[in-house]
Structure 1
Amino acid sequence: MADKMRVLLADDHAIVREGLRAILETEPDIEVVGEAAEGQEAVNKTDHLKPDIVIMDLTMPGMGGLEATRHIKQTWPDVHILVLTMHDSDEHFFQVLHAGASGYFVKGGSSSELVAALRTVRQGDVFLYPSMAKKLMDDYMKRVRTGKDRESYDGLTEREREILKLIAEGRTNHEIAELLVLSPGTVQTHRARIMAKLGLHSRTELVKFALRRGIIALGDR
């Protein structure tokens, strides 16, 4: 049996943490290793407990979830962050992705959706709640209609362009990490930033972008 997924819960409401723990402890492959009521505590417990994933609320007293996410990803890039929030605004959404979070889950989703999100994130993929994925798609279509593909691509760093090409070729995060001598967590962070900058929400859309821009040819995949 594979190692259990170690999860840290960070939310300032005890009732939310209790509810999340009750949901997750019914899953045989998930272990809740700790709880935090504010951002600095989440950072400290990440250091001590070494979770695989932190479920992070955005709005907490003291250090907020966004700042805590940035700190955790800078210090422990292999730790995944799944943001759990009531906010579904574009502003919060893109800030979260740029901070390095691997997923964005809006409170109100079902317990089965939450568990699926955790498993998606642990595999190194990005999870976007359906309403947020639609926002990304809408933004992408606006860019296509207004010819902003060139502007978006020009905004990528050389490293991001390199990783974009490898993702479009079908490489996994672990394969990219080995090729570029990076950690999988660092590759995941770059991937999330690429998706946010280009206004894309899936690997399929990323491949279409790469084909359209001539970054890859059909025979490259």
Structure 2
Amino acid sequence: MKIFLVEDSDVILGHLRRVVSEIPGAEVIAEANSQDDAIAGIAACRPDVVILDLTLARGNGIEVLRRVRPLWPALRIIVLTNKSAPQYRNTCLALGADAFLDKSRDFEDLALHLAMPQSQPRADRR
């Protein structure tokens, strides 16, 4: 499973790399810390999964989601953010995120989401 990380915190990137490294067959193929770099990188790398933060160095994850989802509907997009307010969750899920996780309470659930089969229905998103 090829994973693309979109995150602007070096500390969080380190944690994400560790989580991914513990999943058999999973690898981080690229990273971006801004909206434009994320969109261009996803187009170039064609990952299986994107782990997406909403707060980026330049731009934001909602715009990444808005622009990427229509182009690659089969791409799994897991939002992992500190912006856990219902309006962010609802917006991300409406735009097609496969999961919405809060960094402060759901970080450990990330491995479970990555291990799920890709055919999981979007209605079961958390």
Q: Which has the higher strand share?
A: 2
Q: Relative contact order (alpha carbons < 8 A, sep ≥ 6): 1 or 2 greater?
A: 2
1:94 alignment partner in structure 2: 90
Gaps of 5+ in 2: none
Aligned-residue identity in percent: 27
1:92-146 alpha-carbon deviations (Å, 9 max, x no partner): 11110111111101103243x2111123373333430xxxxxxxxxxxxxxxxxx
1:79 alignment partner in structure 2: 75
How many residues were matched structurally? Answer: 123
1:44 counterpart (17, 40, 43):
40
Contact 1:80 1:121 survives alignment (8 Å): no
- In 1, Cα distance between equivalents of 2:117 and 2:92: 14
1:30 alignment partner in structure 2: 26
- In 1, Cα distance between equivalents of 2:103 and 2:9: 13
Contact 1:53 1:122 survives alignment (8 Å): no
Superposed displacement of residue 61, structure 1: 2.9
1:21 alignment partner in structure 2: 17
Could you say what secondary structure the match of 2:2 adopts? strand
2:59 counterpart (47, 53, 63):
63
Superposed displacement of residue 28, structure 1: 1.1
Moved over 4 A (4+): none
1:6 aligns with 2:12: no
- In 2, Cα distance between equivalents of 1:73 and 1:92: 16
Contact 2:65 2:97 survives alignment (8 Å): yes
- In 1, Cα distance between equivalents of 2:6 and 2:107: 19
- In 2, Cα distance between equivalents of 1:27 and 1:61: 28
1:131-178 alpha-carbon deviations (Å, 9 max, x no partner): xxxxxxxxxxxxxxxxxxxxxxxxxxxxxxxxxxxxxxxxxxxxxxxx
1:125 counterpart (111, 121, 124):
121
RMSD between aligned alpha carbons? Answer: 1.5
Q: Which has the higher helix share?
A: 1
Supply the AA of the counterpart residue of 1:16.
Answer: I
Supply the AA of the counterpart residue of 1:65.
Answer: G
1:215 alignment partner in structure 2: none
Contact 2:101 2:107 survives alignment (8 Å): no
- In 2, Cα distance between equivalents of 1:87 and 1:115: 20
Larger Rg: 1
Supply the AA of the counterpart residue of 1:76.
Answer: W
